[in-house]
Structure 1
Amino acid sequence: MKKSLISLALLLAPALACAQSTLISNIKGYTLQDDKLLTFNAIEFTDDKITRLYQSGDQLPDLSDRQTSHINGQGKTLLPGLIDAHGHVLGYGLSLLRADLTNTASEQDAAKRVLDYGKQNSDLTWLQGRGWNQVQWPGKTFPGAASLDKYFPDRPVWLRRIDGHAGWANSKAMALAGITKDTVSPPGGEIIRDSRGNASGVFIDNAMTLIESKIPPLTLEEQKAILLKSMNALAGVGLTSVHDAGISVTNLKAYQALSREQKMPIRVNAMLDVTDKQWQDTLRQGPVRDKNDFLKMDSVKVVADGALGSRGAALIEDYSDKHGHKGLLLFSDKALLKVMKTAMDAGFQVNTHAIGDDANKRVLDNYQQLLTTEKKRALRHRIEHAQVLRLADIPRFEQLGVIASMQATHATSDKNMAGDRLGKDRIAGAYAWQKLLKTGAVLAAGSDFPIESPNPFYGLHASITRQDQHNLPQGGWFAGEKMSRLQAFKSFSLDAAYAGHQEQLLGSLAPGKKADFILTDQDIFTVKAQDIWKTRVLATWVDGKRVYQRKEQ
């Protein structure tokens, strides 16, 4: 393996530096054509466009022609660049720079990890982190400020839950935010309180802004640096395009600056967050699209409810493990309809976060009311997550032309919690990939990074096996919802491109389409399904340029 990587590296460097046309041969190539898998053994591209695929029996061009550079693919697998239809690029970049609390064993373990991070970052006023999950801890209860106060009595700490829908603060952070016993939970949010009615330190959904509004915002230059770090890391796992699910106007300006400077290593399809104070003014300026299709913004992100793990997902009936609690709706019915209509009327695609069955029903009802013309329907509106659905609502996606933007690794991460939250009846409509596909709905795959790993091969593995990386549960969790390899591949490629109105440019390899592709160390169509997640990316090309190459190991 080491020898082949070194030889591949030696071939790649000079070839990509000097030639307009490039031929990569000796590969196991796969792409989609007419919903079927097409295989090829060589690919030719000129500048940013593919010019030809060579199949078995086709004669390759004369390799002595100096106008064509040649790369020997060493028999490796070549795939279209994969697309994550729902991630958070700035959030992922920040996660690479902040305390990582994923897979902590307890509240105390998480607090000690922040302590270590604080010692290494003594110049930071606010200590921030992400990734804690109380469901993985003994007792499965929310943490409190006291465990952080022990180490940080005078330094504010703010730690987001793994799903981003709850935050954990210490007493110093709450004091800076002016939180007292009398502070009222805002609409669409909840301040978790102790037995005496005091704020415990955990804030859910809209209540998080009480703390976060006191944290100094990032500058434009800081955002640019973080976005660049994030995009380079994403290229390294085989992503050539991502749909950034909810950006601020400042975030958009940072992207536009990187685009003008021609520094973007991968493509970004950005959704403008409707909670930004300038969102409507920005919509009036019209969609954004740069000349090389590295950046586009012609959609908005709306969040209808919270997340299942923090019991913020809006359910029609009570949570099975919390009587009297149905979750949180982040907008009133009237306000939600108005926001969606405003965006549609401006000609923007509406991508609405909905996790609970109540939120999904309300969003589908709104789409049904608003999609009164073919022009509005053609905008390809989406539901982000579509996690818990009434069985009666599943056919409505295809009927309304609404795309289900779902994340496979949410199912394998949530499998030990979702049954407790939903009970045996509602779980039948949860993470229901095959039920949706059988109705003809389009399913665009993603990861929701940094909540989950951005590695698309983790998502492909979860889609195909319904198992975690320990191959559990045996046979797969609700195995009837497994996808075939072809369905899973399409959800991370052509259907993800379709969800962003880019299927004519991206998502498959064909003459005239963008030269976005990846070389991998194993064949995802022949390797054992349980090993798909182990796939490693050897090199990534975007717009005909190599933007990542794995270092030999």
Structure 2
Amino acid sequence: MPHAEAVALSGHKILAVGTTSEIEALAGPSTRRIDGMGNTLLPGFVESHLHVFSGAYGRKLLQLAPITGRDALHKAVRQFSDANPDEGLLIGQGTPYGILEEDGPITRQKLDEMEPVRPLILMAFDFHTAWANTPALKAAGLFNGRDVGPGNEVVVDQEGLATGELREKNAYLPVLNLRTSGGREMLGMSGDEPETPPSAQERADDIAVLKEGLRYCAAQGITAVHNMDGNRYMMELLREIELEGEMACRVEVPYHFTEGKPLPILEEASRMSADFNSDMLKSGRVKIFVDGVLESGTAYMLDDYANAPGWKGDPIFDTEAFAKAAIEIDRRGLQISVHAIGDGAVRIVLDGYEAAQKANGARDSRHRIEHIEVYHPDDLPRFAELGVIASMQPQHPPGTLGLPLEPGISAIGRARWPYAYAWRDIVDTGTAYCFSSDWPIVAVEPLIGLQATQIRTPWADDMPDQRVSLHEALEGYTWRGAYASFMEDRTGRIRPGMLADLVLLGGDIEAVVPDAFPALGPVLTICDGKITFEA
């Protein structure tokens, strides 16, 4: 029954679904009636991949996504510097790789012209590359280069001095540690616990950021979020919010297993899973990075980058190391979600999941691969065969919603274009899938993501159309997201007995063109039977 006229809620559950007269018959004297005005009512959006703390905190930082050109960047940096005289590190966020346009790549020398005295770092929109000025590099001990581990790099020039480009988090975290704001802008991204116990004021500040982030998500119609970073400290903050009754969304937080950690440390993941397991707040998942991103050449490819002959990228976990980790995590009954962008990284993950099945036996594991921006055609059937969930982000393909085509499409190369961001092909195999944003890399609004699923165009006339239907896209943002979190028996559908997670749009999404989707609201969000946003 894809359409109904009315729904009744009682407490935190859906009581009934049916015609207006059927539902009106259930109303009592204290019942609140909400007239949807013929607009679309959906299950609450499930945001299956985001970074809620950095997304919320980033709204306070210098936002560079709309900035283009050297003069405009210089002006923005100076204004931000003047407005934050006491901050130990000036942080810009959302930086396009080609922000300087014809002036070429960002270098420390160019940043020094904009801010010669105070440490400055610009974070790429995808958080996989950053650029720092000379004061920041010297203060962080990176000016003369440093070995920061596989898959990470402090880029240096012919004289061995840092150019300013920092690839992946091990390279840029020493700079971020210079900040003095008191807030941990990347809280949980490393997976490590705070080195020193946060003060009462720091805890209060961090809780305020998390609350703000969840409220912002609720205002977009989101009722559940799958965070892609975190630690026990973050879980403890969220538990406090839950006990206060102020959780605007359901939250799932993973244990972050990074390269270099010994396998026995996964006992911490098991403890997190046991200690946090409510309908509003849970763990039960382990997050791993196997590679980086295409734009910086840190994604791991099976064959050379089309724009960099002789370079495939370096995996953070090789096939053997990842397989060992996957076997151990799977043995513990935990779910795994892995960042894998390049076709080489995707294969490493699929091989690891296959090894886990052979070692531990097949089960309903619902292991995930995040992004899957390029895959090898030989690997396409393996997603469904292994029961892997394809977690994809419709706003990410180059050329979509204003994203630049370069350097992404040149890095992929025309021979691999048919296997890049291939939503249609993946869905057609019967693979379980879900859609999300990866906020703050792109906008968190599901309505913008839904727009992207409908308007994307191929990079060439002879390339396949990888769009999905509107209903497939709506599934990807609702019940398929719930399925990816083992919650499909409780959320993701408007059905009697399900938890009351709903979003009312400001129009009929089936009656407007996709470019009009972002203007549809939402006007009302209900999570667990409580109104969490009302326009």
TM-score (structure 2 length as normaliser): 0.89
Distance in 2 of aligned mates of 1:51 and 1:501: 22
* Among 513, 522, 528, the residue aligned to 1:537: 522
Structure 1 window deviating more from structure 2 (104-113 vs 487-496): it is 104-113
Is 2:173 the counterpart of 1:209?
yes
Tell me the equivalent position of 1:198. Answer: 161
Percent identical among aligned pairs is 29
Q: Amino acid of the residue matched to residue 438 of structure 1?
A: D
Q: Amino acid of the residue matched to residue 407 of structure 1?
A: Q
Shift of 1:481: 0.8
Aligned length: 508
> In the superposition, relative to structure 1, how do residues 153 and 530 fare at CA in structure 2: closer, same or farther (>3 Å)?
closer
Is 2:106 the counterpart of 1:120?
no
Tell me the equivalent position of 1:20. Answer: none
Q: CA RMSD in A?
A: 2.5
* Among 502, 509, 514, the residue aligned to 2:487: 502
Q: Does the CA contact (< 8 Å) of 2:479 and 2:492 recur in 1?
A: yes
Shift of 1:196: 3.5
Tell me the equivalent position of 2:190. Answer: none
Tell me the equivalent position of 1:82. Answer: 45
Tell me the equivalent position of 2:311. Answer: 325
* Among 444, 447, 461, the residue aligned to 2:434: 444
Distance in 2 of aligned mates of 1:142 and 1:474: 24
Matches within 5 A, 1:129-208: 129-135=92-98, 137-139=100-102, 141-181=104-144, 183-205=146-168, 206-208=170-172
Q: Helix, strand or coil for the counterpart of 1:451?
A: coil
Distance in 2 of aligned mates of 1:153 and 1:79: 51
Shift of 1:214: 4.6
Shift of 1:182: 5.1
Q: Does the CA contact (< 8 Å) of 1:283 and 1:346 recur in 2?
A: no
Q: Helix, strand or coil for the counterpart of 1:247?
A: coil
Distance in 2 of aligned mates of 1:183 and 1:373: 38
Distance in 1 of aligned mates of 2:453 and 2:252: 23
**1:12-34 residue CA offsets vs partner (Å, 9 max, x unmatched):** xxxxxxxxxxxxxxxxxxxxx6x
Shift of 1:532: 2.2
Shift of 1:373: 6.8
**1:438-493 residue CA offsets vs partner (Å, 9 max, x unmatched):** 111011100111001001011111112215xxxxx799995621101111111111
Is 2:412 the counterpart of 1:418?
no
Structure 1 window deviating more from structure 2 (271-280 vs 435-444): it is 271-280
Tell me the equivalent position of 2:328. Answer: 342
Shift of 1:545: 1.0
Is 2:245 the counterpart of 1:266?
no
Shift of 1:102: 0.7
**Structure 2 gaps, min length 5:** 185-201
Q: Helix, strand or coil for the counterpart of 1:408?
A: coil
Distance in 2 of aligned mates of 1:245 and 1:275: 13
**1:72-127 residue CA offsets vs partner (Å, 9 max, x unmatched):** 22332211111111111011012111111113212443343222122222232221
Is 2:465 the counterpart of 1:480?
yes
Matches within 5 A, 1:86-125: 86-125=49-88
Shift of 1:286: 4.8
**1:201-226 residue CA offsets vs partner (Å, 9 max, x unmatched):** 11001322343345467343332111
Structure 1 window deviating more from structure 2 (289-298 vs 272-281): it is 272-281
Shift of 1:542: 0.7
> In the superposition, relative to structure 1, how do residues 279 and 102 fare at CA in structure 2: closer, same or farther (>3 Å)?
farther
Distance in 1 of aligned mates of 2:278 and 2:32: 23
Matches within 5 A, 1:51-90: 51-55=15-19, 58-62=21-25, 65-90=28-53
Q: Helix, strand or coil for the counterpart of 2:396?
A: helix
**1:366-408 residue CA offsets vs partner (Å, 9 max, x unmatched):** 1111113786531210000011001111111000000000000
Q: Helix, strand or coil for the counterpart of 1:253?
A: helix
> In the superposition, relative to structure 1, how do residues 476 and 264 fare at CA in structure 2: closer, same or farther (>3 Å)?
farther
Distance in 1 of aligned mates of 2:275 and 2:488: 15
Q: Helix, strand or coil for the counterpart of 2:233?
A: helix
Q: Helix, strand or coil for the counterpart of 1:72?
A: coil
* Among 215, 232, 238, the residue aligned to 1:255: 238
Is 2:305 the counterpart of 1:314?
no
Q: Amino acid of the residue matched to residue 236 of structure 1?
A: A
Distance in 2 of aligned mates of 1:424 and 1:539: 44
Tell me the equivalent position of 1:491. Answer: 476
Shift of 1:137: 4.0
Matches within 5 A, 1:504-523: 504-523=489-508
> In the superposition, relative to structure 1, how do residues 384 and 63 fare at CA in structure 2: closer, same or farther (>3 Å)?
closer
Q: Does the CA contact (< 8 Å) of 2:88 and 2:178 recur in 1?
A: no
**1:297-334 residue CA offsets vs partner (Å, 9 max, x unmatched):** 11011000001122211111221112222223122433
Is 2:203 the counterpart of 1:220?
yes
Distance in 1 of aligned mates of 2:103 and 2:336: 35
Distance in 1 of aligned mates of 2:271 and 2:227: 20
* Among 526, 531, 534, the residue aligned to 1:546: 531
Q: Does the CA contact (< 8 Å) of 1:246 and 1:300 recur in 2?
A: no
Distance in 2 of aligned mates of 1:428 and 1:227: 39
Return the structure number with greater strand share: 1
> In the superposition, relative to structure 1, how do residues 229 and 67 fare at CA in structure 2: closer, same or farther (>3 Å)?
closer
Shift of 1:157: 1.6
Q: Does the CA contact (< 8 Å) of 1:466 and 1:478 recur in 2?
A: no
Matches within 5 A, 1:388-399: 388-399=374-385
Q: Amino acid of the residue matched to residue 6 of structure 2?
A: A
Q: Amino acid of the residue matched to residue 351 of structure 2?
A: D
* Among 433, 438, 444, the residue aligned to 1:454: 444
* Among 341, 344, 351, the residue aligned to 1:365: 351
Q: Does the CA contact (< 8 Å) of 1:418 and 1:427 recur in 2?
A: no
Distance in 2 of aligned mates of 1:64 and 1:81: 23
Distance in 1 of aligned mates of 2:90 and 2:178: 13
Q: Helix, strand or coil for the counterpart of 1:537?
A: coil
TM-score (structure 1 length as normaliser): 0.86
Is 2:338 the counterpart of 1:355?
no
Distance in 2 of aligned mates of 1:326 and 1:429: 17
**Structure 1 gaps, min length 5:** 1-32, 468-472
Distance in 1 of aligned mates of 2:148 and 2:50: 28
Q: Helix, strand or coil for the counterpart of 1:372?
A: helix
Tell me the equivalent position of 1:6. Answer: none
Q: Helix, strand or coil for the counterpart of 2:497?
A: coil
Q: Helix, strand or coil for the counterpart of 1:86?
A: strand
Q: Amino acid of the residue matched to residue 428 of structure 1?
A: P
Q: Does the CA contact (< 8 Å) of 1:134 and 1:140 recur in 2?
A: no
